[in-house]
């Protein structure tokens, strides 16, 4: 058996503090073999920078995933070509920097593939993730014929689209784990074909907030219907995510459970 820890969207400095405080104890206690974390919001709540990646580099995360906010800080975009284990959604059009999938290896020599996708519903136009994932799976298997374990970060707004992707890939990947909404869902399960699903694993960051931002700024936007700058919150730190246990011979999940680690 192999255990994969997937950490939800790391939001701002508070999220980085939560990740640094919460990750090692969970990895040790749960005997985690492979770690994935979404960092599209890690720099000030929007995007990524070189300094932030240097800060997080020694935490033992095998693969970093992202989403639509990965483009928000232009100084971080070169990282997409520079770091082979930093992903952006695979279904952005060809010609964009970076890559949408990779294969890394555990300390015991087990290969784990990771695919990053982005949804279409209620989000900016992007290529169809259902069509794209079929092509990505073909590419992965061509380059790594022995690959069994595949984790998908489905970065999307609509719960139906995330659940739909899990059923579309049931039996073909180990897990489909949702990100983007920053609100953890309680629908974790293993589908009939052996693919684990959680619609959204939640965020890693300040939960005394509105999806990571100070409530007063968000409320101003709701009250007055005019733009307001968001300000990342700092209180109520938690690391959220999911642990997927899988059979390394078949690549199919045997269990999934939510992770909630209060910090301080």
DSSP one-letter code for 6: E
Helix, strand, coil percent values for the chain (each to nearest 5): 30, 30, 45
Specify the DSSP element, H or E, that contains 19: helix 12-30
* Backbone phi, psi, residue 87, to 5°: -110, 150
Nearest to 69 by CA among 129, 151, 160, 157: 157
Residue 1 near residue 254, CB atoms below 8 Å: yes
* Backbone phi, psi, residue 79, to 5°: -60, -30
Residue 137 near residue 95, CB atoms below 8 Å: no
CA dist 56 and 155 (Å) reads: 21
Specify the DSSP element, H or E, that contains 208: none
Nearest to 124 by CA among 173, 151, 91, 169: 91
Counted residue by residue, the chain has a size of 264
Contacts of 149 (CB under 8 A, 6+ apart): 2, 4, 110, 111, 112, 113, 174, 246, 248, 251
Q: How far is CA 69 from CA 165, 195, 196, in A?
A: 21, 27, 26
Catalytic residue among 69, 155, 180, 182: 69
Does 155 participate in catalysis according to the annotation? no
Task: Cite the active site residues.
Answer: 69
């Amino acid at each position: 058996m192999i255990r994969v820890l997937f950490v939800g969207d790391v939001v701002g400095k508070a999220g980085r503090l939560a990740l640094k405080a919460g990750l090692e104890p969970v990895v040790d206690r749960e005997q985690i073999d492979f770690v994935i974390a979404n960092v599209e919001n890690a720099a000030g709540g929007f995007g990524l920078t070189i300094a932030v990646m240097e800060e997080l580099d020694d935490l033992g995360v095998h693969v970093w995933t992202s989403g639509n906010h990965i483009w928000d800080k232009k100084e971080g975009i070169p990282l997409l070509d520079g770091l082979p284990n930093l992903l952006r959604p695979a279904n952005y059009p060809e010609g964009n920097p970076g890559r949408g999938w990779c294969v890394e290896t555990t300390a015991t020599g087990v290969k784990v593939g990771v695919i990053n996708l982005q949804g279409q519903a209620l989000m900016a136009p992007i290529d169809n993730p259902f069509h794209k994932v079929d092509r990505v799976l073909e590419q992965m298997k061509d380059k790594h014929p022995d690959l069994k374990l595949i984790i998908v970060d489905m970065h999307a707004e609509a719960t139906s689209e995330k659940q739909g992707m899990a059923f579309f890939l049931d039996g073909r990947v180990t897990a489909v784990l949702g990100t983007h909404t920053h609100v953890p869902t309680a629908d974790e399960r293993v589908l009939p074909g052996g693919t684990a699903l959680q619609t959204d694993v939640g965020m890693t960051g300040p939960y005394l907030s509105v999806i990571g931002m100070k409530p007063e700024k968000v409320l101003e936007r709701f009250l007055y219907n005019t733009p307001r700058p968001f300000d990342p919150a700092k209180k109520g730190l938690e690391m959220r995510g999911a642990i997927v246990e899988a059979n390394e011979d078949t690549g199919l999940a045997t269990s999934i459970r939510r992770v909630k680690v209060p910090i301080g």
